[in-house]
Each structure stands twice: as C-alpha cells, then as structure tokens.
C-alpha cells in the first residue's frame, strides 16, 4: 500500500459534534484521512456516518468542532466551499436531474459558456469525454439520465465531482443500488482513482466491500467514534461486532424443518408486465407448511410480477393459485389477505407503509374497519393505541412511540412495523419480498430470525430475494427463477452457489424450453 502518503493528511476532522435539537447525531468525532487512501466509514443506519460527511461537505454546520483540509482550517459553510477545497460527494440517492443529458448534469452550476451565458455544449461534451477516458468512467454524454443504467448514473455522479476538480471523493453507500457486476466495477474504479492520486471516503455498512476495497476503516456507533482500524488487520466478524456493539452471527441458527402439507399451489401461472408482455410464463410451484422456500434469481425475471399476482395487485392472465384448498386466483388483495396470505412488500416505503401516518395507524392499515379498532364507522383511538403499543413492545420498534410518524423511522424499524402488522393476521402463508433490502446487520439478523420463527410455528414462507447469500442461508428449499419460469428446485442443504448462479444466469434453461 505504497500509494498512501502518510505525511499528507488531506482531511482532519477534530471533535466534531452535530446536534439536531435534543438529538446528538455526532459526538466528538475525530477523523483523519491520508492522501491516496480508501477510507471506509462503517456504522449501522442512523449511526451518524452520513451526518459526519454532510458536515464535511458543508450541507450541515457542525455544532462544534473543526475541519482541516490539506492542513488548513476551513469553515465549510456551504457545498461551494467544499467544492472549492477539492471535495466532491456522491450521494446515496443520486442527485441527478432525470430529464437532463449526462453532460448537462455534469456541467450544471459550472457551465462552460461562450458569450452572454450561452452554453457551449460541444466544448463541455469534449471535456466530459476527456475526463471519462482519463479515469476509465464510461458514460454516454448525450443520453438522458432517465434512460441510462444505475451503474452509469453513478459514474455520472463521480464525473460530476471530478469535473469540479475534486481530489477527495465521498461516496455515500455506493453499492446499495448496484448489481454484483456493477459492484465489482465500482470497486475497480475506486482503486483506479486512488492510483491517480485521489482520496476516497466511502460510507457503507457492507463488510464484504470494505474488505475488498478499503485501506482503513473508521467505525461509528450511535454518533460516537469506536475506532479506526487497518482493514487488513481485522476480520468481517470483528468489524461487525464493533459496528453493532455485540457479537453478530452471519449464520442463521435453525433446526431441521418439519414439513407439512401443501398450503399454496401455483399452477401454470401467466402474468403480463406493464408493457403487456408475458413475464411470468406458466410458472408452477408448491409451498408446504413449515418450510421456507427461497426464490433465487436476477432482478427482472418476473419476481415482482409474480408476487404482485399472488397478492392480488396484478391480474393473472391464466393459471391458478390455490391457498389452503381455496381458489384465490384474481381475488382482491383484501380477499386474499383474509384467506390467510400476508405480504412483506419489496418497496417498504411505497407499498408497505403510509409514511405520513403514525406507527399506530400503519399497524391497523389492514384491519382498521374491524372491531375493536372501529365501532360503527368510528375509529377507537384508545384501543388502536394500546394495540400498537403492545406490538411496538413485542417487536422492539424504536423509538417506542406509537404516535411517531412512520416516515421518520429508520429502515429497520419501518420493516419491524410491517412485520408486526402482517403477523398480527396470523397468516398461513407469508410472502417476503426483499425483506432485508437496505437494512443494517442488526436489523437483518432480526428479520431472518423472525422468518425462521414463522416457519417453526408450522407456517409457510415464500422468500423472494436478489441476495443469493440470504436465500441460501434461510431457505429449506431453493427455487431458481429465470425468464418467468422456475427452472429448478433443490434442497437447500445440497445446493451450492455455483450451480444456482449458473441457473440464475439462464444456464440449463435451453434444455427446459425445448
């Protein structure tokens, strides 16, 4: 690691404290980053990593503390000052104008102009192309952002920073939205950049990627700095326990399943996507009581449409769905729910919760019209509140306040609210779609234990996830979906990653379709 220049401290943050009202997001945090290093900031959601970086980038003013950039004390009161000091930030939710072209997005705020403020788009395009070549960040300069892949959008974001002359790049959760291939690419890009003298800070809670890319790692827990470690000297388990504050196990403890009768039967299901094309193609599947059936597959092979069809959110063109002996094909979501199926949706913020409602209101979304929550059309808030409090206690939702607005909860706690609500119906079949997406280690552990618990109570769980590790760890049986069909189902104990990966990518599909 000779590329790191230890004499050159490009960033020094000293004693940074940031308070929002009574809440202390950062407490006396120190951070030192040397030129040419990839420095990871590790912490659970809400630990204060992003807050710290927003302070560095001038989006927040620190309550107290000092920032030194290249050895000089700087009052970073606005992003402009940060940009001038050579800092660029790539936000977790991309800050791109969808209707603009790649070039327009890159030059916005620092436009290349000829006379009278007229934009010289050719000159700008050339400049972008040069940068793109120099750092190996391929983009199509004239494409509109809304038409390009997420991976390319991220490269646009990095180019935006480089275009402004950034030497220090802050990447907030750079891999959260990427496919495995794109993740490898971005790690390679980060290494290229540091070889060319740039310094990178990544905010993340993914341990694997820290091990793959970072030189140093600073761990933050509940707003306090725990330690800065050399990544080569620690294991993933060490990092995880520093982050969470206790031992974490990656393996899911579970006993052997007691598999019962078939409870859900899907027979030759055909579903169309939004463009009107068949995307689920005569898919058949049987789910038994007391098992977790995991569906592995790459995004876009019909998973979303399958679960929408099962839960009544999308029309079934042909085929049948039988739940516990009852035909639930094309029933309304409410009827399906009342027949004993519950659903943890893929997008918890859009489909799982009404973000502007309180936790209590979210918890009775499915049963608000029933006794005792409502009597003769009037909601009984006292009963709703005590019901919610009970669930909050049981599922350890934090903060423990049933009047809290759901949108203000962390991702893990939002997911707990959904779990609590769905399970209060005591469903025979639980469909869990991407149940741990975007959650941190502690919350993932919680969700996994919950799903296993559900199975141990003799209920059936259908798990749809793009995280192969998750499917392999949790499932009793694994089905692989490709191009709208289940191409194979295997016993999880006998499954290996390679075979599944091969099937997910369409290997072996030809023989099936013949």
Binding interface with other proteins (CB under 8 A)? 57, 59-60, 78-80, 83, 89, 91, 95-100, 104-105, 107-111, 113, 116-119, 160
DSSP summary character for residue 405: B
In the complex, least distance from residue 118 CB atom to other proteins, rounded to whole angstroms: 5
Closer to other proteins by CB, 91 or 455: give it: 91
Closer to other proteins by CB, 116 or 299: give it: 116
Closer to other proteins by CB, 141 or 294: give it: 141
DSSP summary character for residue 231: G
Closer to other proteins by CB, 109 or 372: give it: 109
In the complex, least distance from residue 322 CB atom to other proteins, rounded to whole angstroms: 38
Closer to other proteins by CB, 344 or 353: give it: 353
In the complex, least distance from residue 111 CB atom to other proteins, rounded to whole angstroms: 4
In the complex, least distance from residue 90 CB atom to other proteins, rounded to whole angstroms: 10
456 contacts: CB under 8 Å, gap ≥ 6: 254, 255, 290
Closer to other proteins by CB, 21 or 325: give it: 21
The CA R_g of the chain, rounded to the nearest whole Å, is: 25
Angle at 285 between CA 415 and CA 326, to 5 degrees: 85
Of 121, 135, 177, 134, residue with least CA distance to 153:
177
* Strand partners for 415: none
In the complex, least distance from residue 161 CB atom to other proteins, rounded to whole angstroms: 10
Closer to other proteins by CB, 88 or 427: give it: 88
DSSP summary character for residue 136: T
In the complex, least distance from residue 13 CB atom to other proteins, rounded to whole angstroms: 19
Angle at 457 between CA 454 and CA 459, to 5 degrees: 65
User: In sequence order, what DSSP letters do the residues of 295-329 get, joined into one string?
Assistant: EE--TTSSHHHHHHHHTTSS---EEEEEETTEE-T
Closer to other proteins by CB, 83 or 500: give it: 83
In the complex, least distance from residue 85 CB atom to other proteins, rounded to whole angstroms: 13
DSSP summary character for residue 354: -
Q: Which strands, in side-by-side order, build the sheet including 341-344?
A: 341-344, 429-433, 460-465, 292-296, 477-482, 485-491
Contact of 420 with 397, CB cutoff 8 Å: yes
Q: What is the distance between the alpha carbons of residues 279 and 393, in angstroms, rounded to a whole number?
A: 42
In the complex, least distance from residue 124 CB atom to other proteins, rounded to whole angstroms: 11
Cβ atoms within 10 A of the Cβ of 381, count? Answer: 11
Q: What is the distance between the alpha carbons of residues 143 and 140, in angstroms, rounded to a whole number?
A: 6
In the complex, least distance from residue 112 CB atom to other proteins, rounded to whole angstroms: 9
Q: How many CA atoms lie within 13 A of 249 on its CB side?
A: 8
């Amino acid at each position: 690691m000779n590329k790191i220049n230890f004499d050159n401290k490009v960033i020094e943050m000293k004693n940074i404290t940031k308070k929002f009202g009574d809440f202390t997001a950062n407490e006396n945090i120190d951070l030192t980053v040397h030129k040419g290093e990839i420095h990871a900031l590790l912490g659970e959601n809400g630990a204060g990593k992003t807050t710290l970086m927003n302070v560095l980038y001038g989006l927040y003013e620190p309550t107290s503390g000092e920032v030194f950039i290249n050895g000089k004390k700087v009052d970073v009161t606005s992003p402009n000052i940060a940009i001038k000091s050579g800092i660029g930030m790539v936000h977790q939710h991309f800050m791109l104008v969808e209707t603009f072209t790649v070039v327009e997005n890159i030059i916005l705020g620092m436009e290349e102009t000829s006379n009278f403020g007229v934009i010289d788009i050719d000159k700008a395009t050339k400049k972008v192309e040069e940068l793109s070549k120099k750092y190996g960040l391929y983009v199509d300069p004239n494409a509109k952002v809304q038409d390009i892949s997420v991976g390319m959008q991220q490269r646009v974001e990095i180019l935006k920073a480089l275009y402004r002359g950034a030497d220090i790049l802050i990447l907030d959760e750079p891999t959260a939205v990427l496919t495995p291939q794109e993740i490898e690419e971005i790690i390679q890009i980060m290494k290229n950049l540091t070889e060319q003298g740039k310094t990178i800070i990544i905010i993340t809670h993914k341990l694997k990627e820290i091990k793959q890319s970072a030189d140093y790692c600073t761990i933050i827990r509940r707003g306090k700095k725990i330690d800065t470690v050399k990544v080569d000297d620690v294991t993933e388990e060490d990092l995880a326990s520093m982050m969470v504050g206790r031992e974490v196990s990656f393996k899911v403890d579970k006993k052997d399943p007691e598999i019962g009768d078939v409870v859900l039967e899907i027979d030759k299901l055909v579903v169309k996507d939004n463009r009107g094309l068949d995307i689920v193609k005569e898919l058949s599947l049987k789910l038994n009581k007391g098992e977790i059936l995991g569906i592995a597959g790459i995004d876009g092979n019909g998973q979303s449409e399958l679960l929408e069809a099962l839960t009544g959110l999308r029309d079934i063109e042909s085929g049948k769905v039988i739940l516990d002996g009852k035909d639930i094909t094309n029933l309304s979501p409410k009827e399906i729910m009342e027949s004993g199926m519950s659903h943890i949706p893929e997008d918890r913020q859009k489909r799982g919760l009404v973000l502007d409602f309180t936790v209590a209101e979210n918890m009775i979304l499915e049963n608000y019209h029933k006794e005792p929550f409502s009597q003769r059309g009037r909601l009984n808030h006292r009963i709703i509140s005590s019901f919610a409090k009970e669930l909050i206690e049981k599922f350890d939702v934090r903060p423990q306040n049933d009047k809290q607005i759901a949108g203000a909860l962390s991702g893990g706690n939002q997911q707990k609210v959904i779990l609590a609500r769905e399970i209060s119906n005591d469903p025979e079949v639980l469909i869990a779609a991407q149940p741990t997406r975007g959650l941190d280690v502690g919350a993932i552990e919680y969700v996994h234990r919950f799903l296993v618990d559900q199975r141990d109570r003799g209920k059936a769980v259908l798990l749809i996830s793009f995280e192969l590790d998750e499917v392999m760890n949790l499932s009793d049986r694994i089905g692989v979906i490709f191009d709208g069909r289940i191409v194979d189902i295997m016993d999880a104990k006998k499954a290996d990653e390679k075979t599944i990966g091969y099937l997910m990518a369409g290997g072996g599909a030809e023989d099936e379709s013949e």
